[in-house]
A = this chain, B = another copy of it.
C-alpha cells in the first residue's frame, strides 16, 4: 500500500484524490487544504495545518504553478518524497530539503468533466531511480499511460500542450463567433471538430493537413479574408502562411 498525502484541493488535486481512492494499491492518508471545501470526499482526513501532516510515502503538491516554490518552503518533510503536478514548474523549484519529483498528469481537467484517469498520461521525474520506481507504481495504479519525462522535455511538452489545447480551443471560439454572426448553429461543426481530433490517431498531422492554404488556393483564401474582421484576418493570414510555407520547405 502506497500512502499519499495530497496538498491542495483544486481541480487536479480533487480528480487525483478521487482516482487514488478507487485504487486498491493506494491509501490517501490525508488532504491538506486551506479552503473550506463543501464536497469533502468520504472517509478522508482533511487538515489545514501544515505542522500536522501525517506520515506518507509520497506528498503531492497540487496547487497553482506560481505558488509552488513558496509553498514548498513551508514544508518540513526532510528526506520524504515530495512531488508537484505542474507542467511548467521545474523539479528544482521545489524548495525543501526533501527528495524531489514530478507527477504531471497531462490533461485538461474541468470540474464538470467525468475524467477517466486511466487514459490520462502521467509524466514522471525523480532525482533517484529508487524514487522513480515508487512513483511509477503510484502512477500505474491509476493510469495505463506513464512516461519518464525530464524537466527540459516537460517544458516543451507543456508548451506543445498550449498549442493543441489552449490555442485550438481559441480557434473553436473563432469558429463559433463566425457562425453566430450569420445565425448558423455551431452544432454543425462539432462532428468536424471531433473527426479532426480523431484523424491524427492513425495519420500524422502533416499527412492530415487539407484546406485552401495547403492547396495554395489563393482565390478561396482571398474570399475568406474579405469575410473576416481585423484580428481574425490576421490569424487567418498567419496560419495560412505557416501552412503554405511548410509545403514550400518540404
Mark interface residues in A216-243 (1 if CB within 8 Å of B CB, else 0).
0101100110011001001110110011
Q: A153-B184, A184-B153, A197-B197 are in contact. Are A169 and B208 (CB under 8 A)?
A: yes
Q: How many copies does the complex hold?
A: 2
CB distance from A66 to the nearest CB of B (A): 7
Task: Identify which of A88, A166, A235 gathers the most chain B CB atoms within 10 Å of its CB.
Answer: A166
Q: Does A133 contact B (CB under 8 A)?
A: no
Contacts of A242 in B (CB 8 A): 170, 231, 235
Contacting pair B235 A239 (CB below 8 A): yes
Mark interface residues in A147-176 (1 if CB within 8 Å of B CB, else 0).
101001101110111111111111111111
Contacting pair A196 B197 (CB below 8 A): yes
Contacts of A205 in B (CB 8 A): 169-170, 172-173, 175-176
* Chain A interface size, under 10 / 10 to 19 / 20 to 34 / 35 or more: 35 or more
Q: A238-B235, A243-B166 are in contact. Are A210 and B147 (CB under 8 A)?
A: no
Contacting pair A160 B184 (CB below 8 A): yes
Q: Does A25 contact B (CB under 8 A)?
A: no
Contacting pair B147 A185 (CB below 8 A): yes
